[in-house]
Structure 1
Amino acid sequence: MSSVFASAGLFLIDAAKDAIVRQPPIPAGNAPGLMTLSPNKKLTLVFSASNNSVAAISNATESSIGSVSLPGPTESMAVSQDGSTGYAAVSSAPVAGQSPGAVEVLNLTGGSTIEIGVTSARYLVASHNTNRLLVFSDNSDVVTVIAPSNIGTSTDPRTFVPGFDRPVWGVFSTDDTTAYILNCGPECGGQAASVQTLDLTQNPPVAGPALPVPAATVGLLTGSTLYVAGTPLGTACDSSTAATSCGVLSVVAVASMTLTNPSPIIITDGYHKRMGMGSNGQLFVGARTCAEISTASEVRGCLSIFNTANSSVVVPPENGDVTGLEPIANRDVVYVVQGGELRIFNTTTDKLGSNQVDIAGQAIDVKSLDF
């Protein structure tokens, strides 16, 4: 759990008991926030916004093993399979001979960096085996595919794949042969939102046909079902809320690339960037900059909970952006960081559980290490 202000650092919580087990917090810069786990969960990268640094934390020793400076802020990081290399998208990174933007390759043992120029690089997604990185740039219709094995060689590790519509995220199939690209469309200044396949068995990778969806900025693949959330421009809410703008959740069967929900699933609006499947088939969807309501008759923030069994939606009466979201395995709880506070939801009730954890300072992100 990353927190800033009162006690900057990483709080260690026993997620089986919902109790803080480490005081003081693990140091990770003056303003720790965004966190990323290595695939083997042995390492956590923590970005500190105060000085644009990335700290590498050993999860076994609960201590920092070093840090690397970035040329600007990042909203997206990944770690190699063996935990020796980190990657960070830095949209403002100065690069000679091109407009700003790069993927910074971080040597987590030596502290050095290599810069791969990708103009306006905003988000990146690593395949499960980390053999491919997908990079998404602001105001672009291109997906940049990076082959880490070619970094530092005479072969350009970048392949620029055109044919998309303001792509912002990607979800890999379990075998890493296909990526489902989320085209943001009008929400990001493009033409049409969609889900589009990217065939990674081809060299170069090939963009497939696009399946239109109302909006698409974040997704989660569970089995053969892809859940996609976004905010279509001008989407009205139903009569259950005073909010005047709402988002939409779509359900895609990836085997046939078809929508399976017959009518729109209305959720909160905002820019959706967090999604996780809790126990009992409860899908948690988090956004930022949503239309919040705080009146005597209604409280509403940026979190939606979708019941995958009966297709109902609950918007908990909690204000704030959702900046962190982590289902806890083998328990009926999901940890959510909303409005700067850690909130523990019970998936059997879609309400806050009876036992909550008070984190000193402003909570930013949360990750599960060893469940």
Structure 2
Amino acid sequence: MKKSSLWLSAATALVVSVVLAGCGETTYFAGRQLPPSQLTNRVMVAIQNPGSVTRGALEILDGFYDVRFKYNNNTSTFSVSGYSGALPVTIQNMPEEQLGAVYGSGDGSLGLVDYQKETATGNQSGLNGISSSVFITRNKAFVFAANQQATVLTVVDKSSNGTYALSLPGVYRVSVNPGGTVAMAFVQNSNYAYYPIKLNASQTLAYSGGPSTWPKAAVDCEPQNAPGWCLFQAQSPDSVDGTGTAYGKPLVFDRPVKALFSNDGGTAYVLSCGRECGGASAGYTPIPTGAMIFAPNQQSGKLPTTATLKTYSIPGGASNALIDSSTMYVVGQQLQPDGLFAGRLTVVDLTNNTAGSPISISDGAPGALSRMIESDDNTLWIGMINCSNGERFKTGQDYGCLTMFDTASKTVKLIEPFHGDATGIASVTGLHKIYTAEGGQVYIYSTTDGIAKNNQYVTVTGTAYDVAYMDGLSDANNTVY
């Protein structure tokens, strides 16, 4: 965008703001209150080392005019006040709740951001050091964190003001369903899956005698003298113990890394990473979530027996995925004959569990979580890290870290030029654009043709690591981690 065009747009915005002020308007979409910045299309950027004495900051950009300053004053910028986390790496975006949760890898902080006030409301207490994966439920009642260094799955239960460190050596990934009723944990270089359950009063009493009194599928219950939560291994219900809990043989996956959840919440699709994580073959396994609902007295149904459990193969690799209605987009890295990996996208029809042929996309680090988000114009955007270490770079193909995929035609429209690791993507819905964090800087792309827009006025000081559209229409406007 030329500078003259920018200021023409700014003048138009000024007229619009005056009209709104004259009408006494203080709200915008869905009755949301105008924030202090008075911006209605805000993109929040998680920035590492923005200054010599600051290790992290959250800056707010105007996603309508694509500027980092006030439209009529280029010396006035916006940020989230009070944020103090170190080295922020992910933003869990919850625009419906006007809330964001920012994880800082430098100090292990999970900082909450009030979108309406544009202020940080403090860090979540109770986490056990650095988290390799962490999520808060949308109602803020529970936090689940994989604390790999501390070898525990941490559960912060705000409903009872309790924090529980459930022993699980090697735990490194946690998945939580959108409704905040099921959580699953995964251990690095393991073939098993685990889930936590909150105990009712009678269970607490029954399990208070130590491990000998726990259900046979339990791997830890804390605190042991009066447990409030237990961690279970996902097992087939071949038998029922004295507490009525089903147990049997462990459900065996192939280096499971994540669970995706169906729209109705009744099914968890467990991704097996396979060869890119040191296993044998990639795929996904549907299992019912009823038995894993962590709230007391709400369990229903049983985990499947080994006879009914079925894993569906994904030859292209499966280290991340996104579900849209009855379609699941699975991303992974496929091992090539020369020993390098190549990025692949597989489109799966969940109504009959059939997978299409793997589609070539940006390469990435084997086993690493990619970034995925849907946007306008039937586009799916996929970001990778270490994309210059794969098959595309070796063979002289386009090897950028960002792929634009057309979900209507099921074709790759564009692999963007290499700017460095693609560590964040935000969909500015309705405006036909996305914001990205690539190679430590902010970029903007059109969803109609994938062409990069001028990012001159959104460049930030420091390392941009993640981005989120604070004014998204729904919580679905959230990068998949």
Structure 2 counterpart SS, 1:186? helix
Distance 2:116 2:160 in 1: 19
| 1:24 to 1:174, Cα distance in 2 relative to 1, 3 A | closer
| 1:136 to 1:341, Cα distance in 2 relative to 1, 3 A | same
**Match in the other structure for 1:368:** 469
**1:88-128 per-position Cα deviation (integer Å, ceiling 9, x unaligned):** 211111xxxxxxx2222346799974322222221211111
CA shift for structure 1 position 49: 2.4
Cα contact 1:38–1:80 (8 A) shared by 2: no
**Match in the other structure for 1:44:** 100
**Match in the other structure for 1:283:** 380
Say whether 1:302 aligns with 2:401: yes
Distance 1:235 1:52 in 2: 40
Q: What is the TM-score with the length of structure 1 in the denominator?
A: 0.86
Cα contact 2:173–2:257 (8 A) shared by 1: yes
Structure 1 counterpart SS, 2:311? strand
| 1:61 to 1:149, Cα distance in 2 relative to 1, 3 A | farther
**Match in the other structure for 1:256:** 352
CA shift for structure 1 position 13: 2.1
Cα contact 2:345–2:361 (8 A) shared by 1: yes
**1:214-254 per-position Cα deviation (integer Å, ceiling 9, x unaligned):** 200010111111000100111689xxxxxx74211101000
Cα contact 2:154–2:164 (8 A) shared by 1: yes
Q: What is the TM-score with the length of structure 2 in the denominator?
A: 0.67
Distance 2:274 2:393 in 1: 31
Which of 441, 451, 472 matches 1:351?
451
Which of the pair has the greater relative contact order for Cα pairs under 8 Å at 6+ separation? Answer: 2
CA shift for structure 1 position 19: 2.7
Percent of paired sites with the same residue: 26
Q: Which amino acid aligns with 2:258?
A: W
Distance 2:335 2:160 in 1: 46
Distance 1:37 1:28 in 2: 18
Say whether 1:337 aligns with 2:437: yes
- Structure 2's unaligned 5+ residue stretches are 1-44, 70-76, 201-221, 235-250, 292-300, 473-481
Distance 1:107 1:147 in 2: 11
Distance 2:436 2:284 in 1: 27
Cα contact 1:275–1:284 (8 A) shared by 2: yes
**Match in the other structure for 1:273:** 370
- Structure 1's unaligned 5+ residue stretches are 94-100, 238-243
Higher alpha-carbon deviation: 165-174 or 42-51:
42-51
Q: How many residues align?
A: 355
**Match in the other structure for 2:115:** 59
Distance 2:98 2:143 in 1: 13
**1:32-90 per-position Cα deviation (integer Å, ceiling 9, x unaligned):** 22222358433322222222222222222222222236433223221123224322211
Structure 1 counterpart SS, 2:275? helix
Higher alpha-carbon deviation: 119-128 or 80-89:
80-89
Distance 2:199 2:448 in 1: 45
**1:125-163 per-position Cα deviation (integer Å, ceiling 9, x unaligned):** 111110111112101111112235768874643221122
Cα contact 1:34–1:75 (8 A) shared by 2: no
Say whether 1:219 aligns with 2:274: no
Distance 1:39 1:122 in 2: 27
**Match in the other structure for 2:131:** 74
Q: Which amino acid aligns with 2:143?
A: G
Q: Which amino acid aligns with 2:443?
A: R
**Match in the other structure for 1:180:** 269
Distance 2:199 2:431 in 1: 38
Higher alpha-carbon deviation: 199-208 or 1-10:
199-208
**Match in the other structure for 2:176:** 126
Cα contact 2:80–2:118 (8 A) shared by 1: no
Distance 1:165 1:294 in 2: 29
**Match in the other structure for 1:97:** none
Distance 1:204 1:306 in 2: 38
Cα contact 1:228–1:250 (8 A) shared by 2: yes
Higher alpha-carbon deviation: 263-272 or 68-77:
68-77
More strand by share: 1
Cα contact 1:39–1:81 (8 A) shared by 2: no
Say whether 1:205 aligns with 2:338: no
How big is the alpha-carbon RMSD for the aligned residues of Structure 1 and Structure 2? 2.9
Higher alpha-carbon deviation: 310-319 or 104-113:
104-113
More helix by share: 2
| 1:188 to 1:287, Cα distance in 2 relative to 1, 3 A | same
Say whether 1:170 aligns with 2:267: no
Say whether 1:247 aligns with 2:343: yes
Structure 1 counterpart SS, 2:116? coil
Distance 1:109 1:61 in 2: 25
Query: For the pair shown, which has the larger CA radius of gyration, 1 or 2?
Result: 2
